[in-house]
Amino acid sequence: MEVTNRYIAIKNHIDGAPKESDFELRTSALALSVDPGSGDMVVKNLYVSIDPYQVNRMKNYSSSHKSIRFSVAITPGEVIDAPGLGKVVASGNPKFEKGDLVVGIVSWAEYTLVKEESIINKLDPMGFPLSYHIGVLGFSGLTAYGGFFQVGKPKKGEKVFVSAGSGSVGHLVGQYAKLFGCYVVGCAGSKQKVTLLKEKLGFDDAFNYKEETDLKSTLKRYFPDGIDIYFDNVGAEMLEAAVANMNNFGRVALSGVISEYTDAKKRAAPDMLDVVYKRITIRGFLAADCMNVYTDFLSTTLDHLRTGKLQVLEDISLSLENIPSSFIGLFRGDNIGKKIVKIAEE
């Protein structure tokens, strides 16, 4: 049996903020069968993850292209691989059977032909919503957990600042930090998000960066005793302001710099005298570097979820066609929590 597989592609390389006209819905014929023993399989995608890092892959040139396998360049017109989950509809791989739920790298498409060497695993929902497995229990959670604990190296009572505090990663970082015993302030881009951070997620404090004119003073106000750990998701001025307010031996876990992704001229120029004299560490990392804490991450996170200590923010849109607008919205801060597109019912 063959189907017309619909997928989202870029029409051209993107070097600024992405817009609807950069994307198109394309189709290709796909056989819903694979050779036995080929190792390949066909997955019907149910949920796909919508992440800011994908914009770097869409550029003509980006550091990301030479980094890990999942951040290589995307070619216009071709299928875009992305984290997600689905159901096996045909398997030539002895490890998987038709009907299995799987999670890993699929694509912004209705179906994904998953090659043997792909990163994909059987999924046991463990009683949680399927979407959790590409968010809080997937890369977003691992990035938050690994970045905070491995790169941030927290001590109880330390002061933690999280930018994009209501984002897919930020809202988890703040909660891990609180549960660990740190003092946490987050920033976000709307009053509603700020309220959410304080009232639902239990951040000690939060502010709307769009209402602030001098971020250095703002952070001084929220951290009169200085910042020990800054979990950075945005870069640029916020990174500069955080470094200016850091304590001796402060650590910046550089998870992403979304404000710099869509504007090549936007750069953080932190005062390096601060970095020297306060002996600050600024360290970039990717979720892929955190696999050594994966077991810890999973058991801790499952535990927090089961005891209701960890709140999960998800922002789920429906249907493949809405991937471009969902993706574009990330750079306007439209999403609250993890942005996901549900492509099909189980």
How far apart (Å, rounded) are the C-alpha atoms in residues 264 and 275?
24
Residue 200 lies near a copy of itself (rule: CB under 8 A): no
Q: Which stretch binds a copy of itself (CB under 8 A): 259-267, 293-301, 322-330, 335-343?
A: 259-267
| Distance of alpha carbon 312 from alpha carbon 132, whole angstroms | 8
Task: Identify which range of 85-93, 176-184, 261-269, 333-341 contacts a copy of itself by CB under 8 A.
Answer: 261-269
Are 9 and 32 within 8 A, CB to CB? no
Q: Which stretch binds a copy of itself (CB under 8 A): 89-97, 122-130, 186-194, 280-288?
A: 280-288
Choose among 149, 142, 151: nearest CA to 252: 151
Confirm or reject binding of residue 263 to a copy of itself (CB under 8 A): no
Does 286 sit near a copy of itself (CB under 8 A)? yes
- The encoded tokens of residue 304 equal 């927090």
Task: Select the residue interacting with a copy of itself from 6, 216, 220, 283 (CB under 8 A).
Answer: 283
Tell me whether residue 49 or residue 71 sits nearer to a copy of itself (CB atom): 71
**237: CB partners within 8 A, 6+ apart:** 215, 259, 268
Alpha-carbon gap, residue 69 to 288, rounded angstroms: 10
The 3-state secondary structure of 277-313, one letter per residue: HCCCEEEECCHHHHHHHHHHHHHHHHHHHHCCCCCCC
Counting contacts by CB under 8 A, is residue 173 touching a copy of itself? no
Binding string, residues 45-64; x marks residues near a copy of itself by CB under 8 A: -----------x-----xxx
- Residue 230 binds to a copy of itself (criterion: CB under 8 A): no
- Residues forming the site for a copy of itself (CB under 8 A): 56, 62-64, 66-67, 71, 235, 239, 248, 254-257, 260-261, 267-286, 289
